[in-house]
Structure 1
């Protein structure tokens, strides 16, 4: 009975972690799909989202849900401005664009370090108590993560699939030249795609802020996990990212629960290497033609 409870708890924790990885990975995939740039500053927008939420809740006393929404809006606006002023010359220039985002990541981290200092900051608890479902106990703060993540993903699905702007953004991701020939204003889709992509990273950071500490250095691990999800799922495949995020989250949670954190990391990278050997395009990715 005890083992079954641990298994159920590990699965639930894995799904929660996977939802956050999915927000990061979809944003990362969206930026690459629109601009053909590997965004090495993606983790820094996760960090900024965590700091935005921390400031809005701790110092301005905003409700947590409002703070997460505001963090998304601020990140989208900041991403739009950065794309127009900094990254515009590097659209579809993979190498130089990658170098530019590395520099951008260093700048954002340095600015956060000067503004907040190197010491970790802790957000007050946003929800007390827990909910017990059978053998699984879920703190209310983690239920916030589940509810908000699902709501964001459903909203993104509706936006991309059932709105004119979302379909235009998908058209640019699939083929910029054909989309432009059909009347899509690609010059507006670039900053919009980048803004939404980094906004999703900011939401993930804001949701994690109450669960862990916030500091200028927290972006590296989420960026690495986003890379792993994209490799496993297939670059440019959102369904692949969803499947890979859940696989990664459950694997990480189960291995950490029953073995150790170190073994969990080894298993994750072994899974990535096996995928690169067996299916380089990822679970649902397609080879370039």
Structure 2
């Protein structure tokens, strides 16, 4: 039923602890008989140790129950790569989900929209995007000198989304507690906080000036500070940005604001990619612009008889040839 070859199932249990938002079917598994192999090159290698504990991988659901595979991952001593975790037949090295789960998410992303992708497998939309991480191995194989970069806008948007969640939680909490002072203080901040400080209107700037006193513990103000510090360090030279990013991660991890934990962990994991982005100065703004132009063209193409006309229109609008209306000849 788990659809994984060379795997032994030791135990199956239903975990409905309060720490989980829904019951999870946990299957304790281990690799079948056979020699241990390096997770990087696939060569046989001797066992080094037990790996310091087990790991868990998200698997395809059974009906309405989520499924996790849990099992030990010993380490092996590979001659070319040193001490690394052993390969498991159900997941990619370093992956947090099984191959089948990742393949299902990847297929959904090609045929369905955001709501379906995030709702059907019970994962966040950004997590579904992380499932495309298998692209890295393909790029490394065919383009070994390629470097992965992130878009600065999307890096900052992680903190902007977290800031929005902090504001909504504090607003609802103040309203439930009947704290009219805090509710009134956060009324104008709702629209001022997400914007750039230099783009605010006079009224929004006044609301932002009262941000430090909007909630008793200053959580909204500290969240806003963390976002602006992140935005600032992305424009610094890479030598300075490396030290600033290290301090930012330490400060964000100690802020005791639940909504900041997720983007902080993501930024910590993608630290090298962020520094590469700062060093190279690239962005996907041009690709995003083309993508939006193609989407608009598709909406304009309703009524076209075939897709060839649509493709021709996309090429015409995206290639950028100089097209002007006729003008009078002097």
Q: Would you call these one fold, judging by a TM-score over 0.5? A: no
TM-score, length-normalised on structure 1?
0.22
Higher helix residue share: 1
TM-score, length-normalised on structure 2?
0.20
Higher relative contact order (Cα pairs below 8 Å, separated by 6+ residues): 1
The structure having more radius of gyration, on CA atoms, is 2
Higher strand residue share: 2
